[in-house]
A and B are shown apart, each in its own frame.
Chain A
Amino acid sequence: MKLDCKHVWERISEYIDGSVDAQLREDIERHLEHCEICSAILDSTRNILILTADDRTFELPVGYSERLHERLAKEIESSGKDLKKE
């Protein structure tokens, strides 16, 4: 099937996640071969996801881990013998 750009945009997220079926994947790839606009949209979206997953983009507050474990240590020390069961 020949896809137009709008159809490709609607499926771009699922295409990136690899969750489109084989036929649709093939149709999208055929479209991307000749469509520079859709290719650029795909590249930019993918790059945003790469950047998102990069640990340096979303950093944790300084000292976060130390404070968490300190609080946890107090809790463990003061907790009773058994952990709750339902």
Chain B
Amino acid sequence: MRNKSTEETELIARIVAGEKELFHELIRPYERMVYLTVFSIVKNEADAEDGVQEAVISAYRHLGSFRAEAKFSTWLTTIAINEGRKRLRKAKDAAEDSIDEPTDGQEGDYTPAPLTDWREIPLEALERKELREALRRAVAGLPDIYRQVFTLRDLEELNIEETAEALGLNPGVVKVRLHRARILLQKQLVPFLKTAVPARRRFFGRAL
């Protein structure tokens, strides 16, 4: 049976054999993924876009060295990460800034925010623009090591192993970082979720 990856492998073979224009088609399904990956590292739109162009061109130039046993999406993500990191290093060198990333130690509070006045967020609340905006800000504000794992796993929906491979981490570290990223976001977004959802009035009417 033909599946997506078989078609992709054939497409790659044709490009390498000389039908270079087909590279446009190969890359199209991954445009969003590559952008979000680079953006998660460089954190600004203009740099991310330049970085994507460099990463995609690099993928094009090196397509001949791509091995079919690998997954194209993971290979491409790795190139995108390297490009993002290269840009970040340049920017940091320019600013003579030190790299002050948190480590995977136990410091920090990774306890979720408890909620008591609602059970579920209705779908209408998730449709609210304010909530999306709050989420974007919260993700942008995550420490780098958590944001990168979160982006690959929860935005781009890579699995734990693919995320680990792309970032050069072991899967256990990916799981810890992912858990912390999600809890940090949950904590930050609870106030927005609460205002998005009217508090239940179940305590009214009780004898006080």
Contacts and interface: CB of A to CB of B under 8 A. Distances in A.
A76 interface: yes
Given A83-B61, A85-B64, A60 B35 contact: yes
B201 interface: no
Interface residues of B, number: 55
Q: Which of A58, A61, A75 has the largest count of B CB atoms less than 10 A from its CB?
A: A58
A50 B115 contact: no
Main secondary structure of the interface of B (DSSP, over half): helix
B103 interface: no
A52 B135 contact: yes
Main secondary structure of the interface of A (DSSP, over half): helix
A67 to B, nearest CB: 7
Contact of B116 (A9, A36, A69): A36
A71 B62 contact: no
B126 interface: yes
A41 B112 CA distance: 7
Contacts of B175: 13-14, 19
Contacts of B61: 75, 79, 83-84
Contacts of B49: 61, 64, 67-68
Interface of B: 15-16, 18, 20-21, 23-24, 27, 31-32, 35-36, 45, 49, 52-53, 56-57, 60-65, 111-116, 118-121, 126, 131-132, 135-136, 139, 150, 154-155, 157, 160, 175, 178-179, 182-183, 185-186, 189-190, 193
